[in-house]
Each structure stands twice: as C-alpha cells, then as structure tokens.
Structure 1
C-alpha cells in the first residue's frame, strides 16, 4: 500500500477532511502568532536597551493579545487533533466492521480471527497517532518558510551558518529510518501469533486443564512474548539512534547562534533583540523539519498496519439482490439441485460429486452419512454460504448465485452443527433482532423443548448467556438454536445434527417438536441418529461425496 491508499482509507468522510483542514488552519494561526511574538519580544528587548519607555508600553497590549490568541489557537489545534484521531478510528473500525459482516463465508475462513482482532486492537491504534500529525504535512513547510524569511531578514549570514548541518542530518535520518517498516511488520506478525495462542488458551481452556497442558501453553506463550520483546528492543535501538540525530539537528544551531550571533551583535550587524529572536526562531525552522522526518519515519512504521487494513477493505462483498420467488405451492419445487459438485480452494479432490436432489413444499428428507462425507458442506451450500460450485441450485424457482444468496437465505431457517450463542439474554439469543413478543419467544422455546431448562435458570428468559454469562450445555445450545430457527419461520428448515448433543428423552421431545415446526414446510435434516427418522421421511445417504436415495 502506498501513501495514496492510506489517504483514501482515512478520507472516507467529509468529517475527516474538515478535521484535517481545521487542524492545519489552527496550527498555522498558532505558529504565525508565535513568530509575531518573537518579533515583538525582539522589539521589546531593543526598546529596553534603548530606554524607549513609550514604545515599550505601547507594544505591550498587542503582545498580550497575541499571547491569548496563541493559547486559544493551540487549544483548538489540539482539540482538532484529538477529534481527527477519534474520527479516523471510528471511521476505519466501522468500515472494517461492515466489510467483515458482508464478507462471504468462503473468504472469511481464509483469514485468522486473531489477525482480524489484531487489526482492531493493535494496528488501528498504531495508526491513530500518525493521523494526528497529518496536518503538519501541509502546515510545517509554510511555518519553516516564513521562519526562514524572518530569520534571513535579521541576518542571512546567521541563517546559513546555523542551518548548514540540517541537509546532512536530514539525509542520514531518512536513510537510517528505512528498516523501520520491516521491523514493524515483524512485530505485528508476532503479536498476531500471540493473539492466536491467547485465543487457543481461552477457547480450549477445559481441554488444556483436562490434559494438563498448562506448562506447554505457558512455555509457548512466554517464548512468544520474549520474541515480541526482542523485536521491540531492536526497533527501540533504531529509534534511539534516530533520536541522537534529532539532538544534533536541534542543539548544534543552538550553539552556533550565541557564538556567531554574538559576534554579529558586537559588530552591530544585528541588535540584542534580534539575537534573542534568532535563538528562538531557529526552533520554528528545526521543528517543522523534525516533524517532517518524523512523519516519514511514522509512515514507514505504520505501512504494515495500513497493508493489513487495506486487505480487509478490499474483501469481496456479498451482494444482496432481491430474488423474485414463486408462490409456495406443489407446482414449484422448493429446492432443486442438479449436478452439484464442490471442492474447497485448498483441496484437490471434490468433497461433493454430481449431487441431484428435488424437494417439494411439504417434503422432509433425512441425510445420513459418515463423518467427513460432506453433509454439513452440502447444507451450507444450500444456504448460500458457499456460492462457488459447479452445477445448479434453484430455491423456489430462483437459481442460487453469489448475488442473491442473502435474499435466498431469508427463506431458510438454519440450525448449524455447532450453534453459536451470542453474549446477551436467552430471549435476545432466540429472537435475534426480531421484534417479537415474549409469548412468541416462549412458544418457540416450547417447540424446541427448551422452555423447561430456561425457566430453571436464575433469571429465566432474562438470564445472561454467552461470554461472561451462564454456561449452557451443548444440548441446551442446540435447543436455543432450534428455537431461534422457529422464530425466523422460514419456508425451508435445515437442521445439521440437531439432536447430536441431546439425551434420548430430550431427543424424543425435540422429534415431536420437529413435526410441529416443519408442518406444511420443506425440511432437510442431517443426522447420525436414526431415532429421529420417520417412516414418511425420504432417506438419503451421502457417501464419499455421492448422494443416494435409500
């Protein structure tokens, strides 16, 4: 990613542009007032030396006014700097959030969750500080030029002698700061690995405890922390060397001005006030140059983070073209699958081969097969979660494509093999954003045989579950997912191992609920357990990617 891409990433809103513009304006005003004050201080000093009391008194009011305006300008500049950083963070986080939410499942699975979290937690904050200094790119050259003009007006000789080492220091600094980008990339990669280890420890906590893996993970974690620390030390050493160049850039002119400037003052080429002004104005030449060099170093430092953000902003987005479905009746097939074949991008062989299946509105099919046969993959394809396949899938007369997959999913109530419970209440996890009454939620829970255990929880349907909440068993999570599917009330119900985590009694109850839930609708159930198979069901066997009717 180049600088142009970065500005495109940041300048996504007019607010971002105006924040930078206002920060630049206030910075120029504040610096302009500072240079004006330097001029007034030089004049006041000369008035004192010459015992010109009247001019001294007359110059004080405007000097005090300039000081007050400088303080106000500085405050406004800092305020806009903070606002600029906050808007950037908010802007980019919103952009990444939208991109991730609308990313197809097939693409999302290629990227580590730890890497995405690293972008949110580390890399955006890394860029924030740089964003606050963007206004300096425009303001600092103007400040430096105006300061040079004023300094040259005092003494062009003193200006040249004072700034003689600045070009050399600038070239050396620019050369030495080049490896910063590579070192920052290495640190971010190692932090991403640390996030992965941390995520594994938290997600697999009970496995770690059960197998006594604490020493293994602690050693792994400690080694990774040490790796990051060593890489950060290398980067800090480089920053330390660059800091020494800054010291040379700052303090050599500070030594030259009193010596050579003193000589010029004794020679009556400049006044005492101008000598004092020269000693101050040099900072308004050096500081913009330092800031410019720091911006270059900062850009190299954040480029790896910008590349990661840029990758996410370029994620393929799932379209949402509305499909014109036919009316639900016996004349139109609810699902038609013709010659469906599919393989994952990282696999050579197909996981599904020439699948054919037709289901009417009231058909119920049970798909049975060994683990790894492709049953869950088939259901995800029907749901439009994977859209890059060979063959055709029609849902109520509409061909499934990547453009209309989101629209087709509105017809489907899907219960995945491993349902996810979001942080929130039981009621929120069942309703999932649907504006339905508590009574309707309870009705759905009863059909899923979940009401009994929900009522036994500390706060019933208001019990907090998910991360940091009450822990639910696998079977309870399954039943909540089934209730969630009931609330959606799609015309097609798809269940992936809905009773895999249930005991026999619960399985029988859930089986009774299935016929009420799916009454008059099309349903597909993947299962290992024949207990939920009914004589009226169509039985299909999926074996090594091939689908057969029993």
Structure 2
C-alpha cells in the first residue's frame, strides 16, 4: 500500500521522474531474483547434507553391534564425522551467501537511488522542476525504500523455504495407500475363511515377481509355501495384507475381494508374523497388546503357547520389563516368539507365518509347533518356511518357482514326484 500510494503521488508531481523510479525497480527485482535462486540451491544442498547425516547416524546406531564385532567403528564414525562436516560447510555457505546476497541487493538498490538523485538534480537544471519539488520527490522516495527492502528480504526467505519445501513436496507427492470402500465383513460369525487368488501379477519395476498366479486355500486348511529365495513368497504376503497393490488379478477372503472388505477390516482379522519382527522400546505388555485391551492372564496364556512365559517371568519386572529398542534386550528367537504371542493375542481368523521360527533351535521349535497346534486348528494358516520341520506342519505344500506354483501336494507325495521339492528337501526327509 505504501508503494502504491507513493507511486501515485510521484506520478502526480512529476510523471517523468516517477517513471524513472518505477522502471528502475523491476531491474533491481530481476537482479535480486537471480541471486535468490542461488540461495534456494544453497538451502537445498544444506537440507540434503542434513538428510545424509541423519541417515548415516541412524544406520550406524542400528547396526552398532555388527560394526563393533567387525572392528569397523573407526570407519563408520569417520563417515559420520565427514557427513557432519558437510552439514556444517553447507550450512555456513548457505548462511553467509544468503546474507551476502541480501546485502548485495540492498547495495544495488541504494546505488540506483544515488543514480536517480543525480538524474533528478540534472532535471532541476534542464527543466522547470524546482528545488523544493525535487526535495519533495526525494522525501517520498525515502518512503519507498523501507517496503522495497522488506520485499527484497522476503524473497530470500521465500527461496530458502522453497529449498526445504522441495523435500516436503516429494513426500506429499507420493501416492497414498488405496482407500477401499469396504462394508462387507466375511469374517463375521465365522471361525475362519478361505483364500482365493486369481490371475495375480506383481513386479518391482520391469521385473515380474508373481505372474498370473492362481491359488485356492480352503477354510481351516494349513498350507506351506516353499521355494528358492526371490520366488515371490514374501511378496505374496504383502499382497494378501494389502500392503502392495496388485498390478492385475484379484484376491478374495471368504468370497469377498479386498476392495469389498476394506483394508481396516482385513488387517483386523488377518495376522502375520515376520522373520524379523518389529518391537518397540516399551514393555513386554505393550509389545504384546499393541494398544488392544487384554488382561494379564491372556498375555501369560499367549506367552505360554509361544514358549516364552518362563523367560518373561524370570525378568525383574515381568510383563512391565522394557525390551529395548527393536527388542535389543531379547535374543532373535525370543523376539520371534514374542511376535507369535502378539499374534495369538490378536485372535485372528487367518494366520500367516513368514519364516516365523527360523531363529529357534530344533527342540524349542518342536515344542512351539505342538503348543500352537490347538490354536491354529480351525484357522486358515499360511506357513512360509525353508526348514522342513516347519513345512511338515502343513496339510498341503505349494512350491513356488519363478513366480508360479510349480508343484502342489503333501510332503510324501512331492518327495515321491522327484521334482523341485524333492531336490530341496529330499536329503532331509528322514529328519
């Protein structure tokens, strides 16, 4: 408003001088815009260096045991120091160059004013402009200096923020998880449901992991999925839970598609136990219940089935014992059994075990399978495993090869067929 009002008065007093002033401002603005773009680039470099440092720090802390065991702490701490120095250098460069650019803009503006003063004085000599009018023009010009400088400084703040917004916009531009309408609940009033997969295809980029997969699992059936690594077994789990979106095909639970059920209802009744479960730096109880209302008695029953009750009772605070970040205070097998107890507490209709007992010794695994047999009875169960002891728990075995089901049958039948399954497990069939 100050600029508009001052420009109007100047045009009324002497339109030639007013045009000279108003035409000079765009030149200053153009020059400062070019400097401002440089500031945006510097801010982006600073933000990128901070991201690299944070990532390196997180990775080093998460793998600190492996780093120390391999006697590589010198290398990784040196890498952290290098990343920290990058943050410092880019931050310093961004700060002083931004400040220098702002002062350069101000200097350019002041230089332009001095040129205008010289021109105005010449105008007094060669026109009918009086000295009083010239001084009045100078006075109004001072009114313009403050808002113009504020606008110049504002654009540097804008460009600095633009460098940060670029990273935020990259996150905001990512596609959200699909929100299906839902409304159908095939799990209601049922102990379990069957699973049907038709013409399912999925790939990471150009590489197809699953291609035109067809699969049927009857309600209450226990099915093992085996095959070489990279065959698509774990990818199928992600698709069943709706964590990945199929490129083609359909998945049905109890005759209803994922879109008809809705992901919230689906995940409430389908539970998965992963090979490397995620645990929170919280109590055993919190990691078991995951925010659900469960009694201590139910927690202990779940831990008993998971063969972990004796271990937790031995802890000083029992269920209130803190497991540490990512469960660092527990062994790998104990973390897996805690995740199994968590699944049991959720009381799912469908259970997926993805290498869920890979870290257990043979005796503990045997006792766990015996204890879980009653819980899994009547529940549709998928067992993804490489160990024969886990595979033998299934009623039927599916052998994945190249994203397709190469063989289908029970253990003895597949061994007799002499195919891929026999090559994978034939030498272990007496185990």
Please, which runs of 5 or more residues in structure 2 have no aligned partner? 121-129, 409-413, 415-431
Aligned residue number for residue 155 of structure 2? 296
- d(CA) in 1 for partners of 2:174 and 2:261? 15
In structure 2, do the counterparts of structure 1 residues 326 and 150 end up closer, same or farther at CA, with 3 Å as the change threshold?
same
Q: Cα offset for 1:470?
A: 6.0
1:120-269 alignment, distance < 5 Å: 142-145=1-4, 169-235=28-94, 236-246=96-106, 249=109
- d(CA) in 1 for partners of 2:370 and 2:201? 34
- d(CA) in 1 for partners of 2:31 and 2:345? 67
Q: Cα offset for 1:285?
A: 3.7
Aligned residue number for residue 411 of structure 2? none
Q: Cα offset for 1:535?
A: 6.4
Give 3-state SS (helix, strand or coil) of 2:249's partner: strand
- Aligned: 1:433 with 2:291: yes
In structure 2, do the counterparts of structure 1 residues 283 and 423 end up closer, same or farther at CA, with 3 Å as the change threshold?
farther
Give 3-state SS (helix, strand or coil) of 2:37's partner: coil
Contact 1:319–1:402, Cα closer than 8 Å, also in 2: no
Give 3-state SS (helix, strand or coil) of 1:341's partner: strand
Please, which runs of 5 or more residues in structure 1 have no aligned partner? 1-141, 261-266
Aligned residue number for residue 338 of structure 1? 198
- d(CA) in 1 for partners of 2:29 and 2:186? 70
Q: Cα offset for 1:244?
A: 3.9
Q: Cα offset for 1:154?
A: 13
Contact 2:280–2:326, Cα closer than 8 Å, also in 1: no
Give 3-state SS (helix, strand or coil) of 2:325's partner: coil
- Aligned: 1:504 with 2:362: yes
- Alignment partner of 2:164 out of 296, 299, 305: 305
- Aligned: 1:420 with 2:278: yes
Contact 1:411–1:492, Cα closer than 8 Å, also in 2: yes
- d(CA) in 1 for partners of 2:202 and 2:390? 28
With the length of structure 2 as denominator, give the TM-score of the two structures: 0.77
In structure 2, do the counterparts of structure 1 residues 163 and 378 end up closer, same or farther at CA, with 3 Å as the change threshold?
closer
- Aligned: 1:452 with 2:295: no
1:68-107 alignment, distance < 5 Å: none
1:363-512 alignment, distance < 5 Å: 363-401=221-259, 404-467=262-325, 471-512=329-370
Give 3-state SS (helix, strand or coil) of 1:472's partner: coil
Give 3-state SS (helix, strand or coil) of 2:223's partner: strand
- d(CA) in 1 for partners of 2:393 and 2:46? 61
Aligned residue number for residue 427 of structure 2? none
RMSD across aligned C-alpha pairs, in angstroms? Answer: 4.0
Contact 1:319–1:403, Cα closer than 8 Å, also in 2: no
In structure 2, do the counterparts of structure 1 residues 315 and 536 end up closer, same or farther at CA, with 3 Å as the change threshold?
closer
In structure 2, do the counterparts of structure 1 residues 166 and 382 end up closer, same or farther at CA, with 3 Å as the change threshold?
closer
In structure 2, do the counterparts of structure 1 residues 208 and 268 end up closer, same or farther at CA, with 3 Å as the change threshold?
same
- d(CA) in 2 for partners of 1:314 and 1:394? 30
- d(CA) in 1 for partners of 2:391 and 2:28? 80
In structure 2, do the counterparts of structure 1 residues 153 and 194 end up closer, same or farther at CA, with 3 Å as the change threshold?
same
After superposition, the C-alpha distances for 1:457-504 in whole angstroms (9 at most, x for unaligned) are 232111223439762221111112111111221110111111111122
Number of paired residues?
395
- d(CA) in 1 for partners of 2:10 and 2:97? 35
- Aligned: 1:356 with 2:214: yes
- d(CA) in 1 for partners of 2:251 and 2:20? 79
